[in-house]
Structures are given as structure tokens and as C-alpha cells.
Amino acid sequence: MSLRIMPKGALKAWVTRLQSRQFKVVGPKSLHGQYIFDEITDPNDLVLDYPTSVLPPKKFLLPPRETLFRFNARTMESHAEITVEPLIIFGVHTCDMHAIALLDKVHNTGYADQHYKAHRAATYLVSIECLKPCMEGSFCKSMGTLTVPEAFDLHLTDLGSDYAVDVGSEKGEELLEGFSSVWEPTESDYERVNNVMAAKWPHFSYRLECDVTELPDLLSISQKSPLWDELGERCLACGMCTKVCPTCYCFDVTDEIDLNLEKGERVRTWDSCQIEKFAVVAGGHNFRSSRALRQRHRFMRKGKYQYEAFGLMGCVGCGRCAAACLVHITPVDTFNELYRMRQSAKAVPQPQIKEPQP
């Protein structure tokens, strides 16, 4: 919509001001040498120049444990439990913004999820331009997620002494309302922004050997690849890859009831397709009985299924699953290995089918 300039020194005053306007402010802060998204009570704790967070900001839109409704098992009354508060998430990286764009799509498709929508409507996203690679496993440039999608309210770019502030929505304007330490950009400010943007690209490398647009087709022809068995042998089925994933949204639903067996709540909690019982039906049949099949399902969702179902990639290249995996199963290695297997299969002449001898 429009661009503003804010001196970096004004950031703390801005955060304090937003808090005084009854916004809850969360953002990256340091904890035991890693970064987590957490409530910022002291603006000094907010770190916008951070590598990556342990969990993505998804946790504010789809909490790990969320009450869907409260019920009374005697009277059979039930009421939705949707409690939200105005929340500003600072410092969302562009990969995580792409993930939120997918979550938006999923939860507004078909029967829209009122719980997600309520969280999302109350949330203000202040994203930040990534100017250098954050961690070893990330491959955002290959996935096309190194620029911000339209989902942002405000988007910051670090210009050294100032932030360029892109205003992406009315909600973004609302956050800047009455704050005097922002100004309209001059010609030289535009030049500074463009120079920073031009300088950032060479810092990032393409880590996939194929183009992102090839992934759905590559995965289509890799359904029977021996690589899945190899990954299945290594996988510990711990589910960490899905826990840290910004686009994983699968959940379990359980009832919790008071000891008097009257009042209770129906709760959803994060679930993982890597856990053995995820696709088991009542008769006991398991549609993905092996770790190989479950890893295949996960990578297919990331590079093919979600794209086909929702038009957006299920992987945003953040690299968190690669960092979390205890046995070094990574999307970059997996996609590249499938690509190499495909390339070498092309190079090798296909075995000829011989006519049976009479």
C-alpha cells in the first residue's frame, strides 16, 4: 500500500506504545541460546535480527492445545470456546509468512474453521525481510519464499539505521496510528531500500537441484522410489519434524471431562502423521503402517499434495525439520536425492522387455 521510514531507535517506543494501546506483543526473544516467539514485556527483549525460532509463529493461530467447545454431558448444552485478544506478532520471517498464507487457505476452504479465523482476525503480522541466510537447513530461495507474500500487515526491512516499513493493510495502518517517529520516504529512502534488496540475493544460494515448480511432478514419479524405505529405516517416528513445521496443521480431538462426569471440553491438540496410529481405522487396518510410508506421505504433502489441494506449497523451506531431526532426514537431501535418482534413471537405458522364447 505505502512505504514509511522509522528510525531503529524508535522501535522500543513504538512497542511500548502498542502495549499501552492494549495490544499483546509477541516476537522473537533469546532463550538458552535459541530464539522463541514469546510475549515481549520488556521491549529490550525483542530481537528482530534473529536466525530462526524453535517453533514457528503458527502456535498463536493454531495453539498446540485448544478448547473447541465446552459441554455439559447432562444437559447436552455446548458453547464454542473462542477467546482471542488483539495480538501483534513481530519479526515473522518471509518463509513463515508463506506458511501462514497456506494456513489461511486451508482454514477458509470448504467449512471455514471459526476458531482459526478468530485468531487470525485478531492477529497483526509485522514481518521482516531476511537479509542473510538464517540456518544450515533452510532453503527459502529454492522454495520461492524469500520475499513476503501479501498476508502481512506491516513488513520491515532493515536499512542499517532505519527500518523501511511497508504498510500492507488497514490493520497495518492502525498499528502506526498516532506514532510520530515515522515519515514518508524520500527518493533516497527508496534507493536505500532497493540497494538493500539487491544486495541480499547473492547471500542466499539455491539448494535444490531442481526448480520448485518441478517438485510436484518429481514426487509424482517417485511414489515407488526405494528412497522411502531408506528414510523409513532411519526415521525414529518421533514426530519432531511435524511439530516444528510451520505448515503442519493436523490435529487430534479428545474429550476432557470433570470428575463429576458432567462438565467437560472437547479439545484439539497437534497431531503428527509420523506417529504409528495416525491412519489406523476402527477395524485395526493401518493405511500407512510403516515409517517409510509415513515419511513418504509427509514429503508428498510438502512438495505435492497440498499444492494440488490448495494451490500453495506445503513446504516453505524454513529448515526447522532438518534441524530437529535426530537422524538427519532433511527436505533438501530428500528432494535432491529423488531428483538425482530420476536423472540417473533417465541416463541409463531402460531394460528391454524380451518376448518369451517359444
Partner 1 sequence: MTTLLNETLRQESIYIPTPARIATINPMTATEKLFRVALPSGFSLAHRPGQFVEVSIFGVGEAPISICSSPSHSNGSFELCVRSAGKLTNALHRLSPGGTIAIRGPFGRGFPIERFRGKDIIFVAGGLGIAPLRSLIEEVIADRGKYGRVYILYGSRSPNDILFSEDLKLWANAPRTEVHLTVDRTAPGWDGNIGVITTLFPKLRFHSRNMVAVVVGPPVMYRFVLMELLARGLADGNIWLSFERQMKCAVGKCGHCQMHHIYTCQDGPAFSYAQIKNLEEAL
Does position 58 interact with partner 1 (CB under 8 A)? The reply is no
Interface with partner 1 by CB under 8 A: which range of 44-52, 126-134, 159-167, 295-303? 295-303
Burial group, residue 249, by CB count within 10 angstroms (0-12, 13-18, 19+): buried
Find, among 53, 195, 240, 246, the residue nearest to 134 by Cα. 53
Dig out the grid coordinates for 316 from the structure: 516453505
Segments of the chain assigned E as strands: 2-7, 24-31, 34-39, 65-72, 78-80, 87-92, 123-128, 154-158, 162-167, 251-257, 263-270
Residues 6+ apart with CB under 8 A from 248: 242, 270, 272
CB of 262 to partner 1, least distance (A): 9
Interface with partner 1 by CB under 8 A: which range of 2-10, 25-33, 275-283, 333-341? 275-283
Task: State how far the Cα of 327 lies from the Cα of 340, in Å rounded to an integer.
Answer: 21
Does position 191 interact with partner 1 (CB under 8 A)? The reply is no
**φ and ψ at 52, to 5 degrees?**
-155, 170
CB 198: neighbour CB atoms within 10 A?
9
Cβ distance to partner 1 smaller for residue 41 or 109: 109
Question: Judged by CB under 8 A, which of 85, 252, 327, 343 binds partner 1?
Answer: 252
Interface with partner 1 by CB under 8 A: which range of 41-49, 190-198, 259-267, 317-325? 259-267
Question: Judged by CB under 8 A, which of 236, 309, 327, 345 binds partner 1?
Answer: 309
Return the residues of window 160-179 that contact partner 1 according to CB under 8 A. Answer: none
Q: Which residues bind to partner 1, rule: CB under 8 A?
A: 68-69, 71-73, 76, 78-80, 82, 106-107, 109-115, 223-224, 249-255, 257, 261, 264, 266, 268, 271, 273, 278-283, 285, 287-288, 293, 297, 300-301, 304-309
